[in-house]
Structure 1
């Protein structure tokens, strides 16, 4: 039910618009499925914290099964879900969390505070002009996945 409180983006145009038109705020896009248990857990955290981060972030949900958003799913190589991609002033923000992939956050957060800390770190780094920031969370609270890259 938490996903009902957040905007769900189903078309490429909606995603492009939120990325392009959101100024001086971090755009948090959760890619996943509303029926997936781990996505529901993350949606709960996102909906409970969206008000707390509303001064410096905008949260949106993207359904990966929608035909029109396949271009984003392929571009960001979203195979594990949920995955969160961050933007700031139409620039893709990356985060070094000690994993092989800096382009997105894969998995859920352990707590609401973890999510707030990550978004705040991205916002602070973006305000300083950085395109990649260091994850503020300790390594034991960062989800680990074995990533396999195609054609590498």
Structure 2
């Protein structure tokens, strides 16, 4: 499903996506396009893309092709989703202890939409970290 989402093919493109978006949240999935967990997350990101397009833009980055951010963002999991707003990394609290990113493949469309919307609303209010109560985080 990653072929349906906009790919960023260089570190410069990733930087530009984060730097130039003034109004919307930037959601970037880092991982390997061929990884089953990434494919699962990409399918969900594609499903929510139309619903969140007014306040979030979604990109995917294959970390084999663009290794530039692996160390800086500690991209060692099969799938990592990070959020940025006006050139700032948005911290999130999903009750996992890792407030930098989502590092598992989600499977609930509405839950992901709610998370994206909550981060966006918090970012618009000038808060860098939004606490979110996400009930029953399920991993398959």
Short-chain TM bin: over 0.9
**1:54 maps onto 2:53 in alignment:** yes
**1:93 maps onto 2:90 in alignment:** yes
Query: How many angstroms does 1:70 deviate by?
Result: 2.2
Q: Is the 8 A contact 2:41 2:107 kept in 1?
A: no
Partner of 1:124: 121
Partner of 1:84: 81
Task: Map Cα deviations across residues 49-97 of structure 1 (whole Å, 9 max, x no partner).
Answer: 101000000000010112xx32311101111121001000111001011
Kindly tell me: are residues 27 and 37 of structure 1, through their superposed partners in 2, closer, same or farther at Cα, counting changes over 3 Å?
same
Query: How many angstroms does 1:100 deviate by?
Result: 2.2
Aligned residues: 139
Instruction: Calculate the TM-score normalised by the size of structure 2.
Output: 0.94
Take 2:133 and 2:117, find their aligned partners in 1: how far apart are those partners? 9
Instruction: Describe the SS at the equivalent of 1:50.
Output: helix
Unaligned runs of 5+ in 2: none
Q: Is the 8 A contact 1:117 1:136 kept in 2?
A: no
Kindly tell me: are residues 132 and 122 of structure 1, through their superposed partners in 2, closer, same or farther at Cα, counting changes over 3 Å?
same
- Over aligned residues, Cα RMSD in angstroms? 1.2
Moved >6 Å (runs of 4+)? none
Partner of 1:20: 19
Partner of 2:9: 10
Take 2:132 and 2:3, find their aligned partners in 1: how far apart are those partners? 29
Partner of 2:130: 133
The correspondence of residues 32-47 of structure 1 with structure 2, limited to 5 A, is 32-47=31-46
Instruction: Calculate the TM-score normalised by the size of structure 1.
Output: 0.87
Q: Is the 8 A contact 2:95 2:133 kept in 1?
A: no
Take 1:110 and 1:43, find their aligned partners in 2: how far apart are those partners? 10
